[in-house]
Structure 1
Amino acid sequence: MKGTIAILVGLFAGTASGQVRADEWSAISFGAYTQLGHYNSATQSSFVSEIDDTARSMDGSDTTWNGGFSLAANWRIQNAVIGVGIDYDPFGTSLAQKCHYHWSDGMESNVYVSSEEEGRCTRDIAWSASFVGKAGWLASPTTLIYGLGGWTFSKVDQSFEKSFNLEDVRTTLSGPTFGGGFEYRLTESWHANLEVRYTKLETLQNVSFSKEAQASQSTVLGGNYETVRLGLSYVLPIR
């Protein structure tokens, strides 16, 4: 009888200990994610003032898949969980747009000549990095509901299919990121999360020099994107 009681006590203690470990949300995690993004481009224009060359893209949007990697640290305070994280997307995405081009020549002749046509512009987000803070509440020992906010940096490349002396432009844009989601503990070491994010990149005027036209060039870049993200992370509890 005593042996049976000892076995039962041991099983209960082991279960309780396992439950404490399983409920531990204070941890460092490494993960990867895939996301579906809807990208909206702000109006972009470039011109070489000396020859009145202009190109203006029409506002456009596109939906693409991409992904990246994440590193995060969380701390549990009773049923609340706070954390910080870094996300890096090295793959980027591409947004193709229609461009309206206008060319005029008022310098070489007494007759003002102009032409207009449509071509294509391409805006590539070469990579993005986000620094975010999170705050959430444990709806259950295995489910965390959270919100997040932070700042995102994106490397943006703007190219013109028919250049008309307009050169490609590359610059870094940044802007705020907001969102939220929930995280689910699959096992003690593996967590999965589903979240939505909204990022508003700044509108920036980039001034460069066109070697072909030997003239200044100005390009306006901007936009925003919304994403739905599915992530998987490996968790190392902070003991």
Structure 2
Amino acid sequence: MKRLLLAGVALSVASAASAADMQARPYSKAPPAAVVAAYNWSGFYIGAMGGYGWGGSDSDASGGFGGGTIGYNWQFPGSQFVFGVEVDAAGASIKDSFTEDVGGILLTQESKINSFGSVTGRAGFALDAALIYAKGGYAWANHKASLSAPGTPFSFSDSQFHSGYTIGGGLEYLFTPSWSAKAEYMYTSLGGETYNLGGLLLDSPNIDFHTIKVGVNYHFR
């Protein structure tokens, strides 16, 4: 009987020690899940844009424009930096005209940007759905110059292709995973060309102008 009692006591002590051992084991948390960015700007996109343009300090030209955009973005996983290439083109009516008396004859001279576009590189910093970016590169424009005398059949015009550079930046926001809206400012400087106005050859100065545009882009996922 004593042996049975001793065996029972020993079994109870062993069970209590085992239970205490189990309670003393440290609790280890599961490793945190990797954080994945909610938005990624990589891929092709197309869009429509429009806005307002005005001339540099030596020009009173102004007017509207509208056109399209196509581009591609690269954003590496885990990085907030976005790089891209963008091409855009627009029809425009950015023009200036003035009339002056030349030997008793009123002559009106008009200059007008009919279309313009650019091929640019783009670099930006993404804050999830928002992208702040700078861009710059090659720019071109089709420009028309005309000379006329109001009330007479005297009228001459010529169009030339100008090329140069453009630089600026903007803000783009993804309001859905595939659609974004943007606002952008650009400064464009184009070299001069020679115009033939009724046999009169005139060298134009550089064409400098500013633009503010808004647009929407569709991103292919």
TM-score (norm 1): 0.69
Counterpart of 2:117? Answer: 129
* Equivalence map 1:150-189=2 (5 Å): 150-162=137-149, 167-189=156-178
Once the two structures are TM-superposed, the CA of residue 174 in structure 1 deviates from its matched residue by: 1.1
Between the aligned partners of 1:70 and 1:229, the Cα distance in structure 2 is: 12
Q: 1:217 aligned to 2:205?
A: no
AA paired with 1:95?
A: K
Indicate conservation of the 8 Å contact 2:148/2:154, yes or no. Answer: no
AA paired with 2:114?
A: A
Q: Alignment partner of 2:41: what SS?
A: coil
AA paired with 2:202?
A: T
* Equivalence map 1:1-239=2 (5 Å): 22-40=38-56, 59-77=58-76, 78-89=79-90, 91-100=91-100, 102=102, 115-138=103-126, 140-162=127-149, 167-206=156-195, 208=196, 210=198, 216-221=199-204, 222-237=206-221
Higher relative contact order (CA closer than 8 Å, sequence separation 6+):
1
Between the aligned partners of 1:177 and 1:199, the Cα distance in structure 2 is: 4
Between the aligned partners of 1:166 and 1:40, the Cα distance in structure 2 is: 27
Once the two structures are TM-superposed, the CA of residue 39 in structure 1 deviates from its matched residue by: 2.4
Consecutive unaligned residues in structure 1, runs of 5 or more: 1-12, 42-58, 103-114, 211-215
AA paired with 1:33?
A: M
Identical columns (%):
26
Once the two structures are TM-superposed, the CA of residue 116 in structure 1 deviates from its matched residue by: 4.2
Question: Which of 1 and 2 has greater Rg?
Answer: 2
Counterpart of 2:21? Answer: none
Once the two structures are TM-superposed, the CA of residue 209 in structure 1 deviates from its matched residue by: 7.5
AA paired with 2:130?
A: T
AA paired with 2:172?
A: E
TM-score (norm 2): 0.74
User: Residues 170-215 of structure 1: CA distance to partner in whole angstroms, max 9, x if unpaired?
Assistant: 1101111000011111100101111100001112234x473xxxxx
Indicate conservation of the 8 Å contact 1:191/1:233, yes or no. Answer: yes
Relative to its length, the structure with more strand (as a share) is 1
Between the aligned partners of 1:164 and 1:96, the Cα distance in structure 2 is: 21
Q: How many residues align?
A: 184
Provide runs of 4+ in structure 1 moved above 4 Å.
163-166
Going from structure 1 to structure 2, the CA distance change for 1:167 and 1:65 (only over 3 Å counts) comes to closer
Between the aligned partners of 1:65 and 1:190, the Cα distance in structure 2 is: 24
Between the aligned partners of 1:80 and 1:227, the Cα distance in structure 2 is: 26
Indicate conservation of the 8 Å contact 2:63/2:92, yes or no. Answer: no
Once the two structures are TM-superposed, the CA of residue 117 in structure 1 deviates from its matched residue by: 4.2
Root mean square deviation, CA, Å: 2.5
Between the aligned partners of 1:39 and 1:68, the Cα distance in structure 2 is: 19
